[in-house]
Structure 1
Amino acid sequence: MSTKIVEKKTETTNEYFGHLTDRIAHYRESVLTTKPYVCAERAVLATQAYQQYQDQPVVLKRAYMLKNILENMTIYIEDDTLIAGNQASENRSAPIFPEYAMDWVIAELDEYEQRDGDVFYITKETKAQLRDIAPYWQHNTTKEKGLAAIPEASRLFYDLGIIKAEGNITSGDAHIAVSYEDLITKGLQDYEVRTRAEKEKLDLTVVANLKKMYFYDAILIVLDAIKTFTARYVALAEKKAQKTTDGKRKAELLEMARILRKVPNGKADTFYEAVQSIWMIQLILQIESNGHSLSYGRMDQYLNPFLQRDLKNGIMTEEGAIEILTNLWVKTLTINKIRSWGHTQFSAGSPLYQNVTIGGQTIDKKDAVNELSYLILRSVAQTKLPQPNLTVRYHAGLDEKFMRECVEVIKIGIGMPAFNNDEIIIPSFIDRGISEADAYNYSAIGCVETAVPGKWGYRCTGMSFINFPKTLLIAMNNGIDPKTGTKVVEGLGHFKDMTSYEEVEKAWDHVIRDFTRHSVIIENAIDMVLEEDVPDILCSTLTEDCIGRGKTIKEGGAVYDFISGLQVGIANLADSLAAIKKVVFEEKRVTPSDLWEALLNDFAGEKGQAIQELLLYDAPKYGNDDDYVDQLVVDAYDAYIDEVKKYPNTRFGRGPIGGTRYAGTSSISANVGQGKGTMATPDGRNAATPLAEGCSPTHAMDKKGPTSVLKSVSKLPTKEITGGVLLNQKINPQVLEKDEDKEKLVMLLRTFFNRLHGYHIQYNVVSRETLLDAQKHPEKHRDLIVRVAGYSAFFNVLSKATQDDIIERTEHVL
C-alpha cells in the first residue's frame, strides 16, 4: 500500500505560494551547492560497447551501448529524495558522449574551469580517461562524418559562421516529447508486446524487413536493459533501508523499491508511481543521447487523473503531491550537459530546456486547466529553479483565476511561465495537415517551439542558425563576406553603386534565397549522418509509429515530421533596412559610399560617429508600431519563408505527414555569439556586439512602451513561423506590486493573444540595478534567475557578454 507523504513546511519569503518542505529545501540546497564536474563514465562505457559490437548493425550497436551503460554506471539514492534515478556519477556532473564529438572535448580539457561562463570542473583522472579513449573516436564521430558530408560550397557557409549547426552536429537531436501518457497507463511491457508481435510478422526474404528485425531486436535489448537498471535501484533502496535506523526513511526506501519493481515496465496506478515512471524514462532518454529540449509534454493533463484518484482514495494529499513535484523539479536540475565553447555561446547557461506545458484546451475545445495545473504552478514557484522550463498554453477562454495565478509566478522573477497561444498555433498546425485532435494536444518543446507529444519527429526547431544581419552585409558587398573577403555567392552589385532602395531589396532577396538553399544542404547532410550513425532506440520506441513502421525517428517513424532552422537578428535587419531606405535613399543625408566606409571602420572618427547618430536616432525602429519599418522586415522575412518551404527534409515521403520546413525565431543566446562575428550594421550597431534576440526589438530602440512592441511583433507572418516567434519582455519588479498593475498585465496578455494573434511572450521581472549588483557581487545573488531566450538560467553562470546583453534589454512599465 502506498505511503501518504506529508512534510511540514520551512520558513521562506514566498508567502503566496507556500514553502518547500524541509526535505526538499535541503535537497535543493545540496544540488545547487554541488560543483558541476565533467564525468567520463558514460564515455568509457560507450566506447567499450562500440569496440565490442563494432561488427553489429548500428541499431544493435546502439542498443548494446545503452545496455552496457545502464548495467554498469554508478547509481545512488540521495538521502532527501523520494524519486530514484541519476544521469552521471554525481549530481550536476555532465557526461561525455564521444560518439558525437571528441575533438573539442580533448582540445578544451584544460579550459573548462577557465571559461567566462558555463564553468565545469574536471579531475586529472577524468582527463586521463578521456585521453585514453580519444584515439578510438578519431575520424569516427558524427561531427567528423557530418562535416565531411557537407558539400564544399555549403561547407564554406558553416566555416565562415554565416550558417551555424554546431548543436546538432556535436550532439543528439531531441527537441521532442515522448508520450508519457501511454507510458504511465500501459507501461513499457506494452511496447515489448507490440515489438514482439511486429517482429513475428516479418518475412525476412524481403530485404527491408531485415532492417526492421534489427530495429525490433534493438528495442527488446533496450527494454530488457531498463528492467536491469531499475532492478539495480530496487536492490540499492532495499540495502539502504536495511542500514538506516530511521524508521520513517526505511519505510520511504521500501516504498521506493516497491514502486520500481512495478514501473516503468508496468503501468502506474498512483500519482507517485506515475512520476517515478516518467522520471526514469526522462533520465534514460538523456543517457541514451545528449540531445536537449527533451520535454515532459502536457503534464497537467496526463497526470491529473492519477492525482484525483489518489486524493479521492486518501492515498495522497495536495501537499504531498507538491512535494513529489518539487522533488521532480530538483531531479530535473540534476541533469547537465557540457557543450563546446563554440556551442556554449549559442546556449549560454547550460540549458536543457526540459519543458512542462500546462493549461490550454482539451480535445473537445474546453478549458483544460485543472487542479494539477495550479499545483504545478505552486511547485515551480516554490522550487525557484531554471528547470523545468514552464509554458502555459493560452486561449481566449483560459480561466481568469488561473491567469492571475500565472502573473503571481511571473512576479517571482524566474522568467516563467512563458505563454504560447492556442489561437494561432492550433490553426497553423491544422493547416499543415495535423489532425484536429492532435493539434489540440500540442505542447511546448524546449523553448517556444511546439509539437504533438509522442507523434512528432526530432528538432521541430533548431536545425541551423542563419545570421540575417551578416546576410544583409554580404548582399550589400556583391556576395562577398566583408570580414574575410571570401566570395560566397554571385552578388547583384555593391551597395556603394546602388541608387535606390529597390536595388538593396533585390540583392537581399537574391542572397537570402541562396543562403537558405545552403542551409538546407547543411541540415540534410547532418541529418543523413545522424540517421546512419546514431539512431536513438528508446526515443524511437516511445514515438508513434516507429514500432508499427519498423523505423527509427530519423528514418521516418514519426506520425508528423516538420522542422525549422532559426533566424537570428530580425530586429537588426528591420532597423538596418529602414535606415538604408530613409537616411540614405529618401533623405539622402548619407551617401551609400560613406555609409559603407563607416560600417567597415566601425563608425570610427568624427564622421563615422555622426553617421552612427543618424542611423540610431533619425531612422524608424522596429518595436514602435511603425508600419514603415515593420513592413520592411515582413517583406524581407517573406523571401526566406517562401524559399525554405520549397525544400522537404530527409524524411519526406518516407511515412510522416509533413516532412517539410518552416521558419523559427528562437535564437537562444546565438545573438551574442553571432554578434561577435558580425561587423557594424546599418542600424548603428557596433561590430562584435550582440544582435537582437528572438523577434524582440533592439535594446533601447523600443521607445513607445510594451503595447507598441506587441503591435510590431504581431505584424510578422506569425502563422508561417510555426517554429516559434520568441518575444522577451523585461519589467521592473515594482511594476507588479499593486493588484491593479497585475490586472493590467493580464489585460495586455489577452489583447496580444486575442486581438493581435501573438504567438508567444515571456517576462524578465528584475531591475537593472539588481543585475548590475549581481555582476559585482555574485555571492549575494546566487539564486538570481533570468530569462535568457526561450529558457531561464542562473544569472551567475552566464558569460559577461550574455549578462550584459540581458542588462541592456529595454525595461518597460505597464
Structure 2
Amino acid sequence: MSEYFGQLTERMSRFREEVLRAKPKVCAERAVYTTESYKQNLDKPVILKRACMLENVLKKMSIFIEKDTLIVGNQASENRAAPIFPEYAMDWVIKELDEFEKREGDIFYITEETKRQLREIAPFWQHNTTKERGLAAMPPASKVFYDLGIIKAEGNITSGDAHIAVDYGRLMKYGLKDYRQRTLAMMDSLDLTDFKNLKKLYFYQAILLVIDATSAFAKRYADLAISMAEREEDSVRAAELREIARILIKVPYEPADSFYEAIQSMWLVHLVLQIESNGHSLSYGRMDQYLYPYYKKDMDAGIITEESAVELLSNLWIKTLTVNKIRSWSHTQFSAGSPLYQNVTIGGQTVDKKDAVNPLSYLILRSVAQTKLPQPNLTVRYHAGLDDRFMKECIEVVKIGFGMPAFNNDEIIIPSFLEKGVKEEDAYNYSAIGCVEVAVPGKWGYRCTGMSFLNFPKSLLIAMNNGVDPKSGLKVAAGVGHFKDMETFDDLQKAWDVLIRDVTRHSVIIENACDMVLEEDVPDVLCSALSEDCIGRGKTLKEGGAIYDFISGLQVGIANLADSLAAIKKCVYEEKTVGREELWNALMNNFAGPDGERVQNLLLAAPKYGNDDDYVDLLVTEAYRSYIDEVVKYPNTRFGRGPIGGTRYAGTSSISANVGQGLGTMATPDGRKAYTPLAEGCSPTHAMDKNGPTAVFKSAAKLPTKEITGGVLLNQKVTPQVLEKEADKMKLVALLRTFFNRLKGFHVQYNVVSRDTLIDAQKHPEKHRDLIVRVAGYSAFFNVLSKTTQDDIIERTEHLV
C-alpha cells in the first residue's frame, strides 16, 4: 500500500485479505435455477421467461454477509466464485469441466458435485443456447472468417453484452419505485388492439417482475442482517447489522438519502445486473459526480467523515472484486486475468464546461490507492483545465504501480461525440466503459466497443496471397493476385484495400448475426429498464430502446501492420534487398535457416511505428483508412428503430486479444515470428520504439483518432525509479498535457514496474501475490496470467520520462 495515501482501516484490511484468499471457484447455483425456471416457463414470451429466470435466481440463490463488510450483496455462493450462464453456452463448459483447474492461467476450482449438477442440466441446453443459434445464424461465407480466427466474436454469443453504464445517479435519486411507476403508466396507456403493443406489454410486465424481484432480494439481506444481529455478541457489530437491515428495507426501491444508502443502492443493482447477464465492462460511470451531493450533505451534517467515506468506498472496491466470470479457454486468451472491466470515471468537465473535480474525486483516488486491487478499473477524464494539484495526485496513484488510473482525453472525445450527433450536455457527461471505450451513462446501447476482433496482420497475409488464408489454404476472398506478382508497392496497397474492405463486410455480417440472436434469445430486462428511453419506447436495448447507439469492433495488430508495410516498402520495393518470392518463402518457413534469418534481420531493421517517423506512421494511417471508410457504411441492427446513430466506428481496445490472435497468425513481414503475440492496442511492437515516449505519442497521434471513437488504447511502461523525484512527476504531467492538449491523444495508461520485478514474480509467484500489472485497458494480478501473457508484458519497452 502507498504511505502517501494512508492505509486501509483494520477491518477493510482484513476483508481485503479474506477476499484475496478466496479461491476462484465454479458455482452451479445460477445455472441450476435458470434451467429450472426455463423449463417451467417454456410457454411464455422470451422477455417474460427472462424476467421469471431472474426472479427465480434472486429468490433461491445463497446469500451471506461477511464479518467485516458494511456493504452487502453476493453474486454467487462464495466470493470470487463464478456462476455459469447456461442459456448462452454450455458446450465449452461441459467440454472443459475437468480442465478448469489445469489451465495455464485463469484457473478455476470445481467440485465433483458442481460437475455433476452441470452435467445433469446440460441435455436441456443442447442445441438450445445463444452460442449455437449465433453460429448457425452466420452465413457460411462469413463464418469461415470466424472459424479461422480472422474475425473473433465468441464473447458476444457465450455471455451477456454489457459494455455499458446505467444511470446510477438517477437510481439513487428516485429509486426503483419511480421506474415501476413509469412502467405502470406506460402499460396503462397501451392500445392492445395494435399488435405491436403486445410486445411492449410483455416488456413492461417483465420490468415489474424484475423490479419486485430486486426489491425482494434486498429484503432477503435485510432479514439476514436482522437475524445475525440478534445472535451477534459484539454490540457494535450488532448495531451495524441493524443499520444494514434498515438501509436494505429502503433501497434500492426507495430513493437514497445518504452517502451510505446511495452506495448500497448502487451496489445491489450493479450486482443484480451481473446476475441477470454476465457481460463484462458493466461500469459505474461518473461516480464523483452523482455521489458527491450525498457526500457533501452528510459531511455538512456531520454524519460522516473523510475517513468513514473512504472506508465505504474501499468496501465497495473489495465487493467489486468479489464478482467473477469464467470464460472458455479460447475466450480467456482474449481476456487474460479474469477481468470484469468495471470502470469508475472521475474528473472531466461539467455540462457547463467547468472543471468537474470535487473533494470526492480526491477521496476516490485515495480509496483506490489504499485498496490496490485490479477492480474497479479507474479512469481520469483529462481536460486542459485540469489543475496540476489533481494531476499530481493522479501521478501518485500511478506511481504505486498497479496500472491506474488510465487517462481519457476530453479534448478529442467530446468533439468526436458532437460530430456524431450526441447532444452537448450528454457529450460532456460521457464516462469510460470497460477499458478505454466511452459512452454516455444511462443513454447508450450495448457494445460501444468489443463487437468483434479483426486480425489486421492475418488479413495482410491473405491480401498478399490472392485472398487465400496461407495457414489453412482456404480461399476466403476474391483477391487481386499474389504478392510474388505485385511489381509495385501500390499493387500491395490496392490488394490490402480490396481485402480489408471485404473482411470488414464479413465482420459486420458476423456482428449482425450475433446481435440478432441476442435480441431474440436473451433480452436483458433490468438493464434495459435502467437505460433511457427503453421504458418510454417500450423497447429493450437490443430493440433500439437507447437514446444513442453507436458500436465498434476492435482491430488487432495495428503496429504489426504498420511495421509490415514499411518493411515491405523499404526492403522489397525501394532498396530491393529482399525479393518478393524470397520474402514470401521466408514468411511461410517462419524465417528458418540462414536465408530466412537474413530476411528477418533486414525486415527488423526497417522503420518502425512508435518513433515519430512519417515513413511508417502514415502508411498505417492510410491502411487504417480503408477499414474506417468501409465500416461506417454499415448501420447496426438498431438503425432506424429509435436511437440517434445506429452506426459503427473503429476501436483499438484489443484487451489481451493480441496474444490469442497472435497464436493463430503465421510469421509477418515486420519480422515477427509465427504464433507469437501481436502488438496490443495502438501501442508499438515491443522494443521497436527506440526514441522515447514523446516519439510514441507523436506516432499514435497520427492515427485518425477522432474517428476511432471505440477507443485508442496506448500502454506505456516506466520503471519505478523515474517517478521518485518531484521534478520527474512534473515531467510526466507536462508530457501528458502535451499529448492531450497539442497532439489530441485519446488515451494513455502506465505500468510502473521494473522488468526485474516481473521476471522474479514469474520465477517466485509466492513472493509477489499482490503484484498487479496493466494488461491492456485493464489491470490484473500478474500471477493469474498465463506465461504467454506474462512474457508479453515483460517484453514491453521501458521508457524514461
2:713 aligned partner, one-letter code: L
From 339, 345, 363, the counterpart of 1:351? 339
Q: Deviations over 1:445-491 (max 9, x none)?
A: 00000000000000000000000000000000000000010000011
TM alignment of 1:461-610, pairs within 5 A: 461-610=449-598
**In structure 1, C-alpha distance between the alignment counterparts of 2:574 and 2:2, rounded to whole Å:** 56
2:675 aligned partner, one-letter code: A
Partner of 1:729: 716
CA contact (8 A) 1:92 1:336 kept: yes
**In structure 2, C-alpha distance between the alignment counterparts of 1:572 and 1:144, rounded to whole Å:** 33
Partner of 2:66: 78
From 645, 657, 666, the counterpart of 1:670? 657
**In structure 2, C-alpha distance between the alignment counterparts of 1:732 and 1:582, rounded to whole Å:** 34
**In structure 2, C-alpha distance between the alignment counterparts of 1:694 and 1:96, rounded to whole Å:** 30
1:813 aligned partner, one-letter code: L
Alignment partner of 1:692 is 2:679 = yes
Alignment partner of 1:330 is 2:332 = no
CA contact (8 A) 1:304 1:372 kept: yes
Shift of 1:227: 1.4
Q: Deviations over 1:513-568 (max 9, x none)?
A: 00000000000001000000000000000000000000000000000000000000
Alignment partner of 1:745 is 2:737 = no
TM alignment of 1:222-301, pairs within 5 A: 222-301=210-289
2:587 aligned partner, one-letter code: L
Q: May I ask how many residue pairs the two structures share in their alignment?
A: 801
Shift of 1:282: 0.5
Shift of 1:791: 0.2
Q: Deviations over 1:701-745 (max 9, x none)?
A: 000000000000000000000000000000000010000000000
1:752 aligned partner, one-letter code: F
1:654 aligned partner, one-letter code: R
1:288 aligned partner, one-letter code: E
From 362, 379, 403, the counterpart of 1:374? 362
**In structure 2, C-alpha distance between the alignment counterparts of 1:396 and 1:712, rounded to whole Å:** 21
1:657 aligned partner, one-letter code: I
1:641 aligned partner, one-letter code: I
**In structure 1, C-alpha distance between the alignment counterparts of 2:496 and 2:43, rounded to whole Å:** 50
Partner of 1:423: 411
2:297 aligned partner, one-letter code: R
Partner of 2:745: 758
1:652 aligned partner, one-letter code: F
Q: Deviations over 1:671-691 (max 9, x none)?
A: 000001000000000000000
2:50 aligned partner, one-letter code: R
Partner of 1:218: 206
Partner of 1:5: none
Partner of 1:779: 766
CA contact (8 A) 1:602 1:679 kept: yes
**In structure 2, C-alpha distance between the alignment counterparts of 1:658 and 1:741, rounded to whole Å:** 44
2:291 is paired with a residue of what secondary structure? helix
Partner of 2:189: 201
Q: Deviations over 1:114-148 (max 9, x none)?
A: 00000000000000000000000000000000000
1:112 aligned partner, one-letter code: F
1:678 aligned partner, one-letter code: T
Partner of 1:808: 795
2:200 aligned partner, one-letter code: K
**In structure 2, C-alpha distance between the alignment counterparts of 1:606 and 1:803, rounded to whole Å:** 30
Shift of 1:670: 0.3
From 674, 681, 690, the counterpart of 1:703? 690
1:481 is paired with a residue of what secondary structure? coil
**TM-score normalised according to structure 1 size:** 0.98
Partner of 1:651: 638
Identity of aligned residues (%): 76
1:580 aligned partner, one-letter code: I
More displaced 10-residue stretch of structure 1: 130-139 or 221-230? 221-230
CA contact (8 A) 1:293 1:353 kept: yes
Shift of 1:14: 2.2
**In structure 1, C-alpha distance between the alignment counterparts of 2:404 and 2:133, rounded to whole Å:** 39
Shift of 1:219: 0.3
Q: Deviations over 1:766-814 (max 9, x none)?
A: 0000000000000000000000000000000000000000000000001
Alignment partner of 1:442 is 2:430 = yes
**In structure 1, C-alpha distance between the alignment counterparts of 2:554 and 2:83, rounded to whole Å:** 27
**In structure 2, C-alpha distance between the alignment counterparts of 1:418 and 1:616, rounded to whole Å:** 31
CA contact (8 A) 1:393 1:420 kept: yes
Moved over 6 A (4+): none
Partner of 2:615: 628
Q: Deviations over 1:272-322 (max 9, x none)?
A: 000000000000000000100000000000000100000000110000000
TM alignment of 1:385-404, pairs within 5 A: 385-404=373-392
2:631 aligned partner, one-letter code: V
TM alignment of 1:170-185, pairs within 5 A: 170-185=158-173
**In structure 1, C-alpha distance between the alignment counterparts of 2:35 and 2:189, rounded to whole Å:** 34
**In structure 1, C-alpha distance between the alignment counterparts of 2:152 and 2:127, rounded to whole Å:** 21
Partner of 1:39: 27
CA contact (8 A) 1:707 1:748 kept: yes
Partner of 1:90: 78
2:627 aligned partner, one-letter code: Y
Alignment partner of 1:161 is 2:149 = yes
Shift of 1:228: 1.0
Partner of 1:340: 328
Alignment partner of 1:65 is 2:53 = yes
Q: Deviations over 1:599-636 (max 9, x none)?
A: 0000000010011000001x110000000000000000
1:415 is paired with a residue of what secondary structure? coil
**In structure 1, C-alpha distance between the alignment counterparts of 2:189 and 2:509, rounded to whole Å:** 37
**In structure 1, C-alpha distance between the alignment counterparts of 2:514 and 2:357, rounded to whole Å:** 40
**In structure 1, C-alpha distance between the alignment counterparts of 2:213 and 2:317, rounded to whole Å:** 26
Shift of 1:589: 0.4
**In structure 1, C-alpha distance between the alignment counterparts of 2:387 and 2:211, rounded to whole Å:** 41
Partner of 1:317: 305
Point out where structure 2 has 5 or more consecutive residues left out of the alignment.
Answer: none
Partner of 2:785: 798
Shift of 1:660: 0.1
CA contact (8 A) 1:369 1:399 kept: no
Shift of 1:399: 1.8
2:33 is paired with a residue of what secondary structure? helix
**TM-score normalised according to structure 2 size:** 1.00
1:450 is paired with a residue of what secondary structure? strand
**In structure 2, C-alpha distance between the alignment counterparts of 1:194 and 1:411, rounded to whole Å:** 47
Alignment partner of 1:104 is 2:60 = no
**In structure 2, C-alpha distance between the alignment counterparts of 1:228 and 1:588, rounded to whole Å:** 73
Point out where structure 1 has 5 or more consecutive residues left out of the alignment.
Answer: 1-12
1:245 is paired with a residue of what secondary structure? coil
CA contact (8 A) 1:598 1:611 kept: yes
1:356 is paired with a residue of what secondary structure? strand
From 702, 706, 717, the counterpart of 1:715? 702
**In structure 1, C-alpha distance between the alignment counterparts of 2:37 and 2:719, rounded to whole Å:** 53
Q: Deviations over 1:390-425 (max 9, x none)?
A: 000000000210000000000000100000000000
Shift of 1:752: 0.1
CA contact (8 A) 1:353 1:446 kept: yes
- The alignment yields a C-alpha RMSD, in angstroms, of 0.4
1:412 aligned partner, one-letter code: I
**In structure 1, C-alpha distance between the alignment counterparts of 2:265 and 2:697, rounded to whole Å:** 41
